[in-house]
Amino acid sequence: MKALLIFFCIFFATLKPAFSQFEYVSPKPGSTMINVGHNIIIREGNLIDASSIHKNLFTIEGTKSGLHDFNLRLAKDGKTILLTPIINFEYDEEVSVQFSAGITTKEGRVLQDFSFSFKTHREYSSQEREAFKNLKAILQEQELQNYPVDSSESDVRDFSDMFSITVNSNPAKGDIFFDAFSGSSLPSELTGYHVITNSGDSVFSRELQDPFNFLMQKNGYFGVYNGEKLRYDVLDSNFNVIDKYYPANGYEADPHEFQLLADGHAFIIADEYQILDLTVYDPDYSNHATVMGTVIQEFDSNHDLVFEWRSFDHIAVPEALHTNLSFTYIDYVHTNAIEIDDDGNILASHRHLDQVTKIDRNTGEFIWRMGGVENEFTFINEPEPFTYQHDIRRLQNGNVTLYDNGNYHSPPHSSAKEYILDEVNKTATLVWKYSHPGAQAGTNLYYLAMGSVQRLDNGNTFINWGWRTNTSNP
């Protein structure tokens, strides 16, 4: 262990002079399993003199593919340098990026020489690539084996049968936006995204297979995940598609989160698939596991990728403490929400870690981690810290809310929760909680997956309880 620790200290000491002058570099120096079509991002942090940027200052070379030509551009922020190789790298090779001194900041400071490297993943077989395609369906089927949900049952409900309003006593003003898909594998008239009034009258309805995350964005447009096209659609006030977002660098769009900010920047969650030998952690784990990780990407208003965060760079697979790591299909992080915090950094909910994290938007490093194996917080007035949670959100009062699915509470039960976070002293104080009473006295209902919590302008809280497990069509 001491030898290993010394090695890592030497490794990081060696890396530091190479890129410490830059606040952000992607791919992360020393990273592995990078896609062969990956771009390169370099940001020093200050405004760059665009006239000082020249291609002859950069060299991109693969140990197999050799020297690479590339397109070079300064992003709209005037700080971020983008290098896009014209031809993909080779599989399973080390790629070196070298930069010679010469670029200057607007303040007149010359950026010094630096270099870094990363490794691409090996070429996967057709069977392994097929496993990537099947992972989500296999894991969902496995998860539902313990619950009375018949995925082959036909769903014959129409829109009017989708919901019933049992209480309507002076609700907050505004319409309700929601998307819906059936628990059945068969076609359903329910599948799509919709807007209704508080009285249940339809304002807008559109059928779409596998929609997700239909909501108004911070720039005034609407967004929805288009499961038919594996992308996010931007909609105008008439719900016409006016823009589309796909993940960069060869990743697959994840339906959980899409955010359009007022400045035109967009954030998405994407999925990354790798084949890993997990016996390096435990001989009882799978030696050929199909593992899905998380990627968070930020695009500027020109659709240029300016930030990327990969879970494989920061989180070890065994942190998925409830996941069977001897199984051959593993979704070890399952990031299901991101929130741009008041300070501009990123709050993220990682369901399969029982964890919420804060990620530095400038560097890509963790600022803190709350919950799970690497928890840094002390929970106060909270006998049951969240498990398998969703929907971390920052409130105007400075607190945060989340939806605690509670899969690993005893017994399982779900709650909407609000915490005061002391990010200096690392404490999380539960100040509000609401659970749905069950039919039997003293019990609360449990919702296996999904769910959200929204604090409204009048102080009310709008709760989507998610996927019920005691009904055939949840």
What are the CA-CA distances from residue 188 to residues 185, 302, 437 (Å)?
Answer: 9, 37, 30
Spatial distance between the Cα atoms of 380 and 382, rounded to a whole number of angstroms: 5
**Pair 231, 241: CB distance under 8 Å:** no
Q: Kindly give the pairing relationship between strand 329-331 and strand 289-299.
A: parallel
Would the CA dihedral through 7, 8, 9, 13 be positive or negative?
positive
Prediction pTM value: 0.93
Q: Kindly give the pairing relationship between strand 289-299 and strand 447-449.
A: unpaired
Q: Strand, helix or coil at 280?
A: helix
Full set of structural domains in the chain with CATH: 17-119 (2.60.40.1220), 126-468 (2.120.10)
CA end-to-end distance (rounded Å), the chain: 50
Q: Strand, helix or coil at 321?
A: coil
> In a structure prediction context, what are the per-residue pLDDT tens digits for the chain, which is 474 residues long?
444 443 334 333 344 444 578 999 999 999 999 999 999 999 999 999 999 999 999 999 999 999 999 999 999 999 999 999 999 999 999 999 999 999 999 999 999 999 999 999 999 999 999 999 999 999 988 877 766 555 555 566 666 667 788 888 889 999 999 988 766 555 566 788 999 999 999 999 998 888 899 999 999 999 999 999 999 999 999 999 999 999 999 999 999 999 999 999 999 999 999 999 999 999 999 999 999 999 999 999 999 999 999 999 999 999 999 999 999 999 999 999 999 999 999 999 999 999 999 999 999 999 999 999 999 999 999 999 999 999 999 999 999 999 999 999 999 999 999 999 999 999 999 999 999 998 788 889 999 999 999 999 999 999 999 987 655 444
